[in-house]
Structure 1
Amino acid sequence: MRGIVLACGNASLDNESPMITERDGIEVLQVPSRPGKAHVDAITSDLGDRRLVVAGTDADLNAVVLRLLRTERVAEVPLAYVPSSPESAVAALWGLPTDTGRALDLALSGDPDKVPVLRDDTGGVLVGLGVISPVRGVGYCDDDNVLRGQATRLEVTPDPDGGAGLIVRVIHKRLLGRKVRETAGRAFQLGCLPTAVTSDGIAHPRQMNKWTWYRHTEDLRLVRGL
């Protein structure tokens, strides 16, 4: 399989270089963390039949998916991910290996699956885990009122089973554990007191008093299966 590997930030593939060099048509490019237009658009516009591999953090993958969305290539480009952290929420959600060697092998030989990608009302995307915490307000998942009042934490992910598009988890921490309410839908809307929002490990630069995540009209072609 021919492809281009974007090694983002401090991501290093030195120990896996034999695996790469033994394959024809694999090119490794070192790019900054959370690469933007200057480092992604020219590559994705000239991929041809090659696949794109992102080696780095969930935030790096988020940045690349954002460029695919803005250049209308989300449904066109097969995208693979080699997470640099074993704590990757994207890897956990989509069942991807976190061992670099195994992840790279899957990235270069696996088949792409269509998976939901979420957008927000500030122009961003969500590939793995979105967190709003702490939160006090009113939230809806489609027509379902999932929050009225206070919660310790809200988590939103794309739906790993496809479904309508996303999963919302409203979490209340208590002395003897925690209570979690889970709801599936296409969109989540929240009005609240100003609070922190994080998408794929990227903290929004200011506190927000409203937020929306919703399923994009096209699915991402994420490499997941062998």
Structure 2
Amino acid sequence: MARWQGIGMPATQLDLRGLAAEQPPSRRHVASVVDDAEEVRVLGPVPALAAVLARLWRRDRLPAVPVAWEPADDAASRGLARALGVGSGAERELPLVRDDHGGVLLWHGRVTAFGAPRRPLARRLGSQAYNDDQRVANGPVTRIDVRPDWTAVDRISVAVVTLPLRPVRRTTGRALQVASAPAQVTRDGVPFDREVTKWTWYGDDRVRWLLRP
């Protein structure tokens, strides 16, 4: 932990550049740095930024605590940095996509059959899913992919793959609700720590976070 002189008051620096692109940081470590910070500068991959925003949300400190991000050099970090315009422009208040298990989603979420091999097309998942009032799945699917839409406010993009080589069903909306057989959820590359049979991602219109350029 270090102090970094940003815009206005000094910022607390959280250096998580040692994390792999799909490795979550220690919750205890994040809390020890973030809980008393007046401004945070995060160095590291997407899961590091997601962990900081989730902690600030749990402490009811969004958007009072501005966040700056120096992304890692992996594909997800580069993609998210481009989408957010990191390093350019002015300070901005941004929406937040949350889930009903206390996490946030910044770049990519996925739902697949629990216990499936790492090859995403190897098994199918019985599911029913709605993107707002649109039914996007009703039966076996290979996977459901979700991305925050950073060109809009409180909106996510959903892609449902039923079978390889079949057309992908794409929709947009504020929320995705999934009920399924035991499923594995992955948030920004990090697998959720247990199987689930229900999951919701949604753009929370009550929450905003402040990104420092």
Is TM > 0.5 for Structure 1 vs Structure 2?
yes
Q: Conserved in 2, the CA contact under 8 Å of 1:36 and 1:64?
A: no
Identify which of 11, 18, 43 aligns with 1:55: 43
- Structure 2's unaligned 5+ residue stretches are 1-5, 114-124
Q: Conserved in 2, the CA contact under 8 Å of 1:171 and 1:180?
A: yes
Identify which of 87, 101, 109 aligns with 1:130: 109
Root-mean-square deviation over aligned CA pairs: 2.8
Q: Identify the residue that residue 134 of structure 2 maps to in structure 1.
A: 144
SS at match of 1:73: coil
Q: Identify the residue that residue 82 of structure 2 maps to in structure 1.
A: 95
Give the CA deviation at 1:42: 5.5
Letter in 2 for 1:220: W
Q: Identify the residue that residue 179 of structure 1 maps to in structure 2.
A: 167
SS at match of 1:4: strand
Alpha-carbon distance between aligned partners in 2 of 1:136 and 1:193, rounded to the nearest angstrom: 6
Which range moved further: 131-140 or 163-172? 163-172
Q: How does 1:27-66 map to 2 (within 5 A)?
A: 34-37=25-28, 39-40=30-31, 43-47=34-38, 51-66=39-54
Letter in 1 for 2:131: C
Identify which of 67, 84, 87 aligns with 1:79: 67
Q: Conserved in 1, the CA contact under 8 Å of 2:95 and 2:207?
A: yes
Alpha-carbon distance between aligned partners in 1 of 2:143 and 2:207, rounded to the nearest angstrom: 28
Identify which of 1, 13, 16 aligns with 1:5: 13
Q: Identify the residue that residue 118 of structure 2 maps to in structure 1.
A: none
Q: Percent identity?
A: 31
Alpha-carbon distance between aligned partners in 2 of 1:44 and 1:111, rounded to the nearest angstrom: 25
2:149 paired with 1:159? yes
Give the CA deviation at 1:210: 1.1
Alpha-carbon distance between aligned partners in 1 of 2:203 and 2:14, rounded to the nearest angstrom: 26
- Structure 1's unaligned 5+ residue stretches are 12-31, 98-102
Q: TM-score normalised to the size of structure 2?
A: 0.76
Rate the CA distance shift 1:96–1:121 in 2: closer, same or farther, 3 A. closer
SS at match of 2:127: strand
Q: Conserved in 1, the CA contact under 8 Å of 2:34 and 2:52?
A: no
Which range moved further: 141-150 or 38-47? 38-47
Identify, as 1 or 2, the structure richer in helix: 1
* Cα deviation 1:75-117 (Å, max 9, x = unaligned): 22221222223212x54145169xxxxx6xx2xx752323221
Q: Conserved in 2, the CA contact under 8 Å of 1:157 and 1:168?
A: yes
Q: Which runs of at least 4 in structure 1 moved beyond 4 Å after TM superposition?
A: 41-44
